[in-house]
Amino acid sequence: MTERLRRWSTVVVAGAIVLSVTAAARSAVPGAPAAPRLPAVRAATLHERYEANRRFLAESRDAAQRLDDTSRSQVLDRLAAPDRQFLTVSTEGDGLAVEVFGDLAGADRIAVVVPGSDTTIDTFDELGTKSASLNGGARALYAEMRRTAPGTPVAVVAWLGYHAPRTMSRDVAENGRAAAGGSELREFLAQLRSANATAPVALVCHSYGSVVCGSAVRDLDRASRRQLSGVAVVGSPGMGVASAAELRTDVPLWAGRGAQDWITDVPHVEVNILGRTFGFGADPVAPSFGARHFATGAGGHSDYFLPGSVPLHNLALIGLGRDGQVSHD
């Protein structure tokens, strides 16, 4: 065992034995309203779902205010803004939220942003910097796609449809959350077809979100495979496979990593320790993996969606299906 792998194994074992040093997941607000009964996702029901979730968020904000939970009430107040469109929302625990930018039913191109660890309903809007939050990244991608192709109707989905692990927890080194998230993502892609059956869909997967995407893509149904136009992973610890061929898809798989991304130092291995599997397999940017590489510049782990940046522009081109215009390192 190499020294690098030995150090990684020690960290993983410690994470598997000790309790997480992060704050415990938040419980639902006592006295909070029941989740709304929503119609199935269809082009004709999108507005109804947006309105129902907006009311639910406002009522949940009011419940948090009554309990003097200032931080949660402020979060919910932002999410309940009249210009926001949520297909799905849950305020239980770390929460779930699926937000749409643009006209989902009328789009000619759709991109779905799948986030990584530490993404919760409380960090949905702000995680470190605005562009590093799920909302900020998806919003920036939507703006860049519109700027790049002003005549093309596009939509971007910020998809927190799974319970992302915390960075300082053993879950972040295992694939359990990713497997559950992959199942949810496959279901969501099927729902998208009910809202828009013709627009090609690109997956943009950040960090642990790339493990979720790998789990989802491996087992997509035939209709979802036909609608999928591409998969782009950035800052990836691995996709849970040894090579792109194991994803069993013919669509382009893109991989990028910024020069200052700390994920470079994470060994891309799978290790069985005490009967549990840790790590996510081969490095997607390694030549042997079989992914297409795109330029990501000198940024770090949270810089892929910075407005005006090289990686953001390339992700927009991938979302638009303009593969021939993507720049390379």
- Report pLDDT digits (tens) over 250-289: 999 999 999 999 999 888 777 766 666 677 889 999 999 9
- Report pLDDT digits (tens) over 227-249: 999 999 999 999 999 999 999 99
Question: Residue 281's beta-bridge partner residues?
Answer: 241
Three-state DSSP string of the chain: CCHHHHHHHHHHHHHHHCCCCCCCCCCCCCCCCCCCCCCCCCHHHHHHHHHHHHHHHHHHHHHHHHCCCHHHHHHHHHHCCCCCCEEEEECCCCCEEEEEEECCCCCCEEEEEECCCCCCCCCCCCECEHHHCHHHHHHHHHHHHHHHCCCCCEEEEEEECCCCCCCCCHHHHCCHHHHHHHHHHHHHHHHHHHHCCCCCEEEEEECCHHHHHHHHHHCCCHHHHHHEEEEEEECCCCCCECCHHHHCCCCCEEEECCCCCHHHHCCCCCEEECCEEECCECCCCCHHHCCEECCCCCCCCCCCCCCCCHHHHHHHHHHCCCHHHCCCC
pLDDT at residue number 18? 31
Question: Residue 316's beta-bridge partner residues?
Answer: none
The Cα 319–Cα 323 span in angstroms is: 9
Per DSSP bridges, beta strands 253-256 and 228-234 are parallel
pLDDT at residue number 169? 64
Per DSSP bridges, beta strands 201-206 and 228-234 are parallel
The tens place of each residue's pLDDT in the chain, 329 residues long, gives 444 444 444 344 334 323 333 333 444 566 678 889 999 999 999 999 999 999 999 999 999 999 999 999 999 999 999 999 999 999 998 999 999 999 999 999 999 999 998 999 999 997 445 567 999 999 999 999 999 999 999 999 999 999 988 876 667 666 778 889 999 999 999 999 999 999 999 999 999 999 999 999 999 999 999 999 999 999 999 999 999 999 999 999 999 999 999 999 888 777 766 666 677 889 999 999 999 999 999 999 999 999 999 999 999 999 999 999 999 97
pLDDT at residue number 139? 96
